[in-house]
Amino acid sequence: MNQPQKLIVLLTLILAWPQAYGQRDGGVGGLPIAFSNELGITVGPVAFYGDYGQRGNFATNIGNTGWGFAVAHYLNFAYRADCQCYNPNTYFNDRFKVRTELTLHKTNFQHYGQWVGPEAVSFTADQLRAMKGSSTVLDVGIQLEYYLWSIRDFMAQDTSWAPYFAAGLHWVGFDPYAYSDFGNLNTPITTPDKYYYGFQQAGGSTWSIVTSAGTRYKISKSVDFLMDWRWQYYFSNWVDGLNPQLEYNTQALGLGNGVPVPENKANDWIFWINFGGVFYLN
């Protein structure tokens, strides 16, 4: 069983566990302990921080931005409306939810910054302007959400806002594509020296850590508006399909003639702003 299959099995068990556990006697007076389920759907812009463009450049940060879509399932430990159940009034039940989610986003890339600006008139600048790419990223995982205020009070509409923080782990599948308007990559016509062998066209997978901050706004008893700001760090530098390294370009240019790439200091990561709704299923 490979890693994606193992993760799917784990998520299935997580989703099935509360339903099975809810059939057991417990709590008070023989009432079962149960959990409510919520469905979230969000969409928003994804700023991709990879190896295209100048580090710390505003045009790079804005230009290499795509769009993403997410579907999430929430376990709410505080309350369930469709049965006579007992949920202990503990701090954990009133402040935490478990979110499992599936996300999909795509970003198109090109180089921005001083090395490709109007003042850059070298052949290398032309090569960089012609170098482009994209990546489609699918990930699935789990986060634990912590709410700053009482979940029960929010569900009872005693408060309108429910700010939270979250952290978790996601498995990531990515499908990158890189090309040049000048022709095939890794040739003297299309590729600056430091980028030789720094491209990946085949899909791959990795893991990532995810942290979020957001808030819900109560629209009705069964619907919340959701705003979520996410930072996600990948355990790979190939997610965008570009990863220039001294050891890679040395193979093409000859021993001792490689070009250092000091600006390539970190793996790929994203900042994602989500907007959407959460629907209470029971």
- Which run of H or E residues covers position 140? strand 131-147
Q: What is the pLDDT of residue 55?
A: 85
Phi, psi of 92 (to 5 degrees): -60, -50
Q: What is the pLDDT of residue 24?
A: 40
Radius of gyration of the chain (CA): 23
Measure the CA dihedral 84/90/95/101, to 10°. Answer: -60
For the 3-280 domain, the top CATH level (class) is mainly beta
Cα–Cα distance between 37 and 24 in angstroms, integer?
Answer: 18
Residues counted in the chain: 282
Could you list the mean pLDDT of each consecutive 10-residue stretch along the chain, which spans 282 residues? 56 50 43 75 97 90 96 86 60 93 98 93 96 97 96 90 98 97 96 94 96 97 96 98 93 79 92 96 82
What b/e sequence results for 178-194 when a residue is b if at least 16 CB atoms lie within 10 Å of its CB, and e otherwise? bbbeeeebeeeebbbeb
Specify which residues 163 forms β-bridges with.
215
Distances in Å between the Cα of 22 and the Cα atoms of 30, 81, 102 are 12, 13, 25
Helices assigned H by DSSP within 32-182: 58-63, 91-95, 123-130, 151-155
Q: What is the pLDDT of residue 10?
A: 53
Model confidence, pTM: 0.86
Task: Enter the tokens of residue 169.
Answer: 């782990």
Residues 6+ apart with CB under 8 A from 269: 49, 231, 232, 233, 234
Cα–Cα distance between 170 and 189 in angstroms, integer?
Answer: 39
Q: What is the pLDDT of residue 148?
A: 97
Task: Enter the tokens of residue 212.
Answer: 């979020």
Which DSSP category does 194 fall into? G
Q: What is the pLDDT of residue 67?
A: 97
Q: What is the pLDDT of residue 79?
A: 67
